[in-house]
Structure formats: C-alpha cells, structure tokens
Structure 1
Amino acid sequence: MHILRTTYLSLGSNQGNKLENLQKAIDLIAENIGSVQKISSVYKTAAWGFESDDFYNCCIQVSTGLNPEDLLKNIHKTEVFLGRKRTADKVYKARTIDIDVLLFDQEIIFSKELIVPHQEMLNRKFVMVPLVEIAPNVIHPIEKLRLQICLNNCTDTGEIENTHLKLIRPVSLSEKYNYIAIEGNIGTGKTTLSRMIAEDYNAKIILERFADNPFLPKFYEDNDRYAFPLEMSFLADRYQQLSDDLAQFDLFKNFIVSDYYIFKSLIFAQVTLQKEEYFLYRKMFDLMYKEISKPDLYIYLYQNTPRLIENIKKRGRDYEQNILPEYLDKIHQGYNTFIKTEEQLNTLIIDVSDKDFVNNPEDYKAVIDLIKKAE
C-alpha cells in the first residue's frame, strides 16, 4: 500500500497558450503523480529575474504515493512532454511550463536534485499569493510560521494580478466512485487489475476466495456431479463476503474495488447446472441479490478465447488446464446476455484482447483513462 503524502507545487507558463499549458500540466500530474486536491486562481505576473512575456502562475495541492525523488522525476517528464527544454546553465528563460516542488508534507530535504521547502518561495509573491489562497494555515517547516504570515512578511514588491481564469480540477477515481466491481471470463486478468487499482489508488480490495473452495478441482474432473454443490458454495461465500466487506467502511481507504460481482454466480450457474438444479438455484440467488449493494461502476473485461486459453496455461493452475474453449465461449455469452438485460448497472466494457496492462504501462493507463471517463 502506498503511503499518501501531501505536496504543494507551483506552476508557471509564459509561452504559447499559457492557460492551456497549465491545464495540460495539471491533467498529467493527476494521471502520473497523484490526486489533485486543490487549484488556486491563475495569476499574471511579470517575468521574474529576466525580460520576457508575462507569466501565468498557479499553485496546486496534490496527494501522492510517490517519494520525493520519483515525484521530481515525474515532474521533469511532464515538463519535457509539454515542450520545456532544460539546459545546464542557471539562467532564467521563457518556458512553456515550469513546475517547482514547494512543500512535501512537513519534510525538510537537502539533496543534489531537490531542496524542500523551495529555497526562494518566501521571496516570490507569484508563488506565495496562489499558495496562500489554497493553504493559508499550513506551517512552513523551517520558519515555523503559517504561510499567511510568511506572505505578510514577503518583501517582493512585484505586481500580481488575478486573471479570474479557471482551471479544471481532474476528478479522481475515489471522488467519482465508492465501489467498482471488475469482472470477466476465466483468465482475463480481473484480479490482477483489481490489485493494481487498489495499490495505486489506496482502495479497499475484495477478492474472490475461489482458492478455498474444495469443490472447484473436483468440478473440473467431474462437471455433472459437482456442479450444484460448487455453485451453491460459491453463491453462499460471495454473498457473505460482499455483505460483510461492503458494510464495513474503512477510514483509511478511498473506495472499494472487487474482482467479482454476485451476478457472476448466476452466469456460471446457467452454464454448469441442469434445468431442475438451476430452477432451485435461481430462487436462492434472487433472495440474496436483493440484499447486495450495487457497484457504482461495473466493468467487464472482454478478451477473445485464444488469448484466454493462453493466459490460463501461463498461470499454470492444474485444475484449469483442461478447460475447453467451448466452455469459455458459453461463459462469455452468459455475461453478454446479463449486460444487455441488466439495466440497473452502470456498465463499462473494456476489450483487453490486445492489451497487456500488467507489463505495459501505456496499456494500463489506457484502461484507467476509460474508467475515469465512464459516466
């Protein structure tokens, strides 16, 4: 689990579309560094220390799981991506974007790459005014004074103008959703994706306890004999687990992510049970389904059957190695029917057939972007 820390960043731009540069930087920070909690107004100031066009400046508060070194690396990547060209000299120059780390919790850092609190922040009104707007009562770690007092003591006489231009704060997953359920066929990577999201976004994770089910290996050996006890035991366990975990609010977690939803029980039961068994099973399911909280977002990971077979063989569970493609096709058809008919769920289908979100950061980012943009 990442320990979340609060950092304050100063952003400035005086080349090109300055407002757009600031917005792009904030969006990239939200994607790659952490959740943007607050954004100050946009202020216009003259270039500080050299002759050039006026700057647009703002400050933001970010909650991040990165350590200071990785934070700085990601900031430099963001600057380069937005067109900043760093040089070895220390001469002030015009730039598309400039991002400085002002504070990192209450830490005092002196290293070759990073000094925090920023050495010059108290002497620069274009930093202190937007910073105090969003954090007036934060204590400066060295001065031991509130930032509002530090601004009052600032001797910078440069003019600073509030442009009243607005920047949009990116909404984080934890603000948008309380509960996300991720499902998919056998081998789609739903558990892996759930783990990755829980780690990156400090979410409480609910994982299916399939490994503890004694009927599962027996079912793959003799489907007809063990289908009903398998599905009933899964249903009972899923109901109990979801009822217990969804009812327990965790103050230290942002939201909940699970690698299954209880409707999975009905989909698999449709495939595995005989008609009479399914009729009895459905009665039990309907009673339980009414009591289970619905997810804010239901994600279905689709993956084509050949890729599923490949993944199943790769993870090497003995009892799964004889699963037939026809069985996987039936499960997918069951999910497809469920998604089309269950109108109460906010559903997002993500095709991951050509994605490797485990080993390819860009694929993982693409999946997260789709989740963030879901209505």
Structure 2
Amino acid sequence: MDQNHNVYIALGSNKGDRMKHLQDAVDLVFEHVGKINSISRVYNTPALGFGTDALVDDFYNACIFVETRFSAENVMQTLLEIETELGRTRHSSEVYESRTIDLDVVFYDDLVLDSKLITTPHPQMHKRKFVLQPLLDIAPKTVHPKFGKTVAELLELCEDDSAIELVNIWLKSPMKQFDFGGYDYIAIEGNIGAGKTSLAHQISHDFNGKLILERFADNPFLPKFYDEPQRYAFTLEMSFLADRYQQISDDLSQLDLFKDFMVSDYDIFKSLIFSKITLPEDEFRLYRKLFYLMYKDIAKPDLYIYLYQNTERLQENIKKRGRDYEQNIANDYLEKINSGYLEFLKNQTELNVKIIDISNRDFVENRADYIWILRQICNKT
C-alpha cells in the first residue's frame, strides 16, 4: 500500500435525491478510498437498457479522479460497500433497475485486469456517452490502454447518440472541509516511531505543502549513541544542534511560490527535550545556552502538533520500520521522551499547540484514521 495509483470512477444515480446520492458517494470515496483530485460536471442522461416501456427517471452522471494506495480489487470492493451503505440493493436478475447510486472503476492506472470482482478498463465505457462526457472534463488526454485512443478520441468515435444535458450544479470537493489557511508553517512532533514523518509526507502531498524532513539519517553519531549513550550523548546533541540550525535556516528562508505552506516532521525545540534526557545537568546547562543563542531569531511554527503514542505501539512501529540501531531502545527511554515533550508543552506559552492522542489509531494503514487526524488538526476551536 505504499504506491499511489490513479483511479477514475464513474458515478450515476436515478433514484431519490440524485444530487445528494452523488455527493454522499464522493464524500465516502474520499473517506475510504483516497484523495479526490478532480470532479467532473454533473450531466443529466436518459436511462439506457431499461426497455422502452419502463417508466424510470433520468440519471445524474459524473466522474471523479482519485489517488489511492489500494489495489484495484480493494477499490472495487470498497465501492460495492459504499453502494450498499447508500441504499443500493443488487439482484441477480439481469434486468436493469433504478438505483440510488452506481459506482464503477473506469481506469485504474493503465492496468488491464479481468477478475471475478473487477474488469478494468470498464468493458463498456467506450460505448457510453454518459461515461465519456464527464470523463472528458477531467481526463481528455488519458489513453485507453487496450484501444490506444484518448478519452477525447473515444467520445468522437462513440456511436451512442443519447441526449446529454449539463446540470448547473457542482459537486463539492471533500478536500475543502480541511482548512489549512492561516498556517504558513506547521511542525509535527512526536516520540520515536510515532509516525510524524509519515503524517508530514501525507499532508504535504494532499494539501500542496512544502515538505521539510529532519536529516537524522545523515548523523554518524546516532548509531554510536544507541550503543554507548553516556560516551556519545553530548557529541550527538551538539551535532544535531548544528545540523538542525543549518537545515531549518535554509528551509525557512527558501520560499516556494508553488506551495501553500510548509510542513515539517520536527521542531527545533526537540533539541532541548532530548538533550535534557541524555545529558548530565552541567552539560545540559551549557547546551541550553548555546541553543538559545543560535535559535533566538528562528521562526516558530504557526501550529505545533504533538502526536502522542503509547509505548507499546511505539515499540511496534520501531520494529516494523527496522532500523538496526533502534531495535534495542528501552521502554524507559521512550517514556522519558514522552514525559519530556508533555512537560515542555505544558509550560509552553509561545506556541499554538495541539496534542493528538493516536494510541488507538493507524493513519498509515487506515484511511479513516488519517481523516480523523485531519479533522483534529483543522478544528481551530
């Protein structure tokens, strides 16, 4: 589930409040499948395949472009579950029936797949103007992997002469519920293994943020510290102090006109928190003097997020990511770090702090947990 995939999904409804059903489906796809990058206009189309004598309402149709980490079959299974949640009941009969919602995968990357659950590209999409017309809005140059023609070309060649009427109502993007306005610089902090880097990556990707990552992997003293903490503590903390100062100075001074804000997986004050745990009192006092001399003019984040994770889950995450030098970190050390952060934040008056308890959340594997965290962040009350 590490790689992002591009999925185009066709939506249709001809039963009940058609617009509401489409919007509910879009919202649930965002909640359970992935980031919605674009949404087509909505089109009113005649119900095809129901027979000339059938009295059925027209369809509202649309298409959406989604980025997901799930496989094609997992996406299709989730879409079927969303249909059920929105009141659709599938029957074994081959007779067409009105439905509150109909969700189909049109394209999944350039994959050609025919399984019991899903066929992609959709085998009938090139024959259906009610799919091709909204798809043209968001993917005119996307090439059909079997036919070698773009969506625009397929629409020109389509023999479906059904009337299609543009509806003057727009579906709303679920992304807009998350307001990062007013935050030029967000810092995400947490204990070792809390997931701060993963969250920073995801937010920067989804909301057009400039990503700032701590370059801890380049520090040659870190493995030595875990082997001999007393011997290498001061050397390690001083090297981090210099590295973080250089990096944060560079990153904060380099404006990116194409990004909306900056998001970092660390904050400079972590130097004080860790050094207070690792250094003897006299060395810490010297270190703290140097820290404030260096950092007195560095910009502070507009929002400081602390991801609280319990020790058991931290150890699970540490083992899962498999860095050799971290495998023998003691529970006591992790608990001291957590206490150090919480003590620091309790006495902090200059930072806008949000502490989010993620002990029972897995926002990497569970998209619903990721959405929950976004809501915690963007709730500005």
TM-score category (smaller protein): 0.7 to 0.9
The DSSP-based 3-state class of the residue aligned with 1:10 is strand
Which residues of 2 match residues 189-338 of structure 1 at below 5 A?
A: 189-190=193-194, 192=195, 194-195=197-198, 198=201, 206=214, 208=216, 212=222, 214-215=224-225, 231-240=237-246, 259-269=265-275, 274=281, 277-278=284-285, 281-288=288-295, 290-291=297-298, 297-302=303-308, 307-308=310-311, 320-322=330-332, 329=339, 331-338=341-348
Shift of 1:164: 1.1
8 Å contact kept, 1:8–1:101: yes
- In 1, the alpha carbon distance for the partners of 2:71 and 2:177 equals 21
| Partner of residue 139, structure 2 | 135
8 Å contact kept, 1:10–1:127: yes
- In 2, the alpha carbon distance for the partners of 1:269 and 1:356 equals 29
| Partner of residue 124, structure 1 | 128
8 Å contact kept, 1:178–1:256: yes
State the aligned residue count: 356
Q: Which ranges of structure 2 fall in alignment gaps of 5 or more residues?
A: 319-325
| Partner of residue 167, structure 2 | 163
Give identity over the alignment, percent: 36
> What amino acid maps onto 2:305 in structure 1?
I
Return closer, same or farther for 1:363/1:28 CA change in 2, 3 Å cut-off.
Answer: closer
Deviations 1:169-200 (A, max 9, x none): 2329999699753223x46x52x353377489
Shift of 1:162: 1.3
> What amino acid maps onto 2:125 in structure 1?
M
> What amino acid maps onto 1:238 in structure 2?
R
8 Å contact kept, 1:2–1:200: no
TM-score of the superposed pair, with normalisation by structure 2: 0.73
Deviations 1:82-134 (A, max 9, x none): 22222233322111211111122333333333222222222222212111122
Shift of 1:39: 0.8
| Partner of residue 341, structure 1 | 350
Return closer, same or farther for 1:366/1:151 CA change in 2, 3 Å cut-off.
Answer: closer
Return closer, same or farther for 1:66/1:361 CA change in 2, 3 Å cut-off.
Answer: closer
| Partner of residue 87, structure 2 | 83
> What amino acid maps onto 2:133 in structure 1?
V
- In 2, the alpha carbon distance for the partners of 1:324 and 1:146 equals 54
- In 2, the alpha carbon distance for the partners of 1:193 and 1:245 equals 18
RMSD of aligned alpha carbons: 4.3
8 Å contact kept, 1:46–1:54: yes
8 Å contact kept, 2:304–2:354: yes
Shift of 1:280: 5.7
The DSSP-based 3-state class of the residue aligned with 1:171 is helix
- In 1, the alpha carbon distance for the partners of 2:289 and 2:184 equals 28
Moved more, 269-278 or 77-86: 269-278
| Partner of residue 112, structure 1 | 116
- In 2, the alpha carbon distance for the partners of 1:161 and 1:327 equals 61
| Partner of residue 11, structure 2 | 11
Shift of 1:286: 4.4
| Partner of residue 39, structure 1 | 39
- In 1, the alpha carbon distance for the partners of 2:26 and 2:98 equals 19
Shift of 1:334: 1.0
- In 2, the alpha carbon distance for the partners of 1:362 and 1:133 equals 27
| Partner of residue 66, structure 2 | 62
The DSSP-based 3-state class of the residue aligned with 1:84 is coil
> What amino acid maps onto 1:101 in structure 2?
V
8 Å contact kept, 1:35–1:172: no
TM-score of the superposed pair, with normalisation by structure 1: 0.74
8 Å contact kept, 1:267–1:331: yes
